[in-house]
Structure 1
Amino acid sequence: MSEPVKLVVLITTLPGRGREQAEAYERLAPLVRAEEGCLRYDLHRVADDPDRFVLIEEWTSKAALAAHDATPHMIEADAASPSFRAGPAQVLELTTAPLA
């Protein structure tokens, strides 16, 4: 069996627009968490910066993540986010670090 897919997504909004990101996440999170293969979908605000966020995602497989990206609610969210984001989100895929 393959290892789950873990992502850290770095998000910066336009100045003063962090609230819109948080509201978009609140609407989206229940839909995403209900998707098959979603293990984790949690948004965190960067301390002392209301316009920067870290989204932590975990999926059972690359196929589950690909299906997530193709859902109508994600397509709609991706189309709306440029109105309040400073630029594209930076997506970091994590792997397990080998022990020394």
Structure 2
Amino acid sequence: MSQPVKLLVLITTLPGRGREQREAYERLAPLVRAEEGCLRYDLHGVADDPDRFVLIEEWTSKAALAAHDATPHMIEADATSPAFRATPAQVLELTTSLPA
């Protein structure tokens, strides 16, 4: 049985372009949440910085995450996001427990 996959995605937009990130998320969220294996897909802003965000994702398996990455809407999002992002998103995969 595969383990769920939890991700924190750190996003920084170009100065003043945070609204574009929020709008992109609002378009994508319903599509992503409807995907098989999506358990969570939530964007949060960083306090006191309108151009920084944390996206929290949870998937039933690595296979579900891989299928998500290959969807047309994610391929399009990955192609258009560099227009308003300061850097590529930093993806952190979380572990289920702390190392000893």
TM-score, L = length of structure 2:
0.97
Determine what percentage of the aligned residue pairs are the same residue.
90
Higher strand proportion:
2
Residue 99 of structure 1, CA deviation: 8.4
* Cα offsets for 1:59-85 (capped at 9, x unmatched): 000000000000000000000000000
Residue 33 of structure 1, CA deviation: 0.1
* Cα offsets for 1:8-61 (capped at 9, x unmatched): 000000000000000000000000000000000000000010000000000000
What SS does the aligned partner of 2:31 have?
helix
Count residues in correspondence: 100
What SS does the aligned partner of 2:96 have?
coil
Residue 3 of structure 1, CA deviation: 1.3
TM-score, L = length of structure 1:
0.97
CA RMSD of aligned residues (A): 1.2
Q: Which runs of 5+ in 2 are unaligned?
A: none
Residue 96 of structure 1, CA deviation: 1.4
Q: Which runs of 5+ in 1 are unaligned?
A: none
Residues 48/3 of structure 1: CA separation in 2 closer, same or farther (3 Å cut) = same
CA distance in 2, matches of 1:89, 1:61: 21
Residues 15/62 of structure 1: CA separation in 2 closer, same or farther (3 Å cut) = same
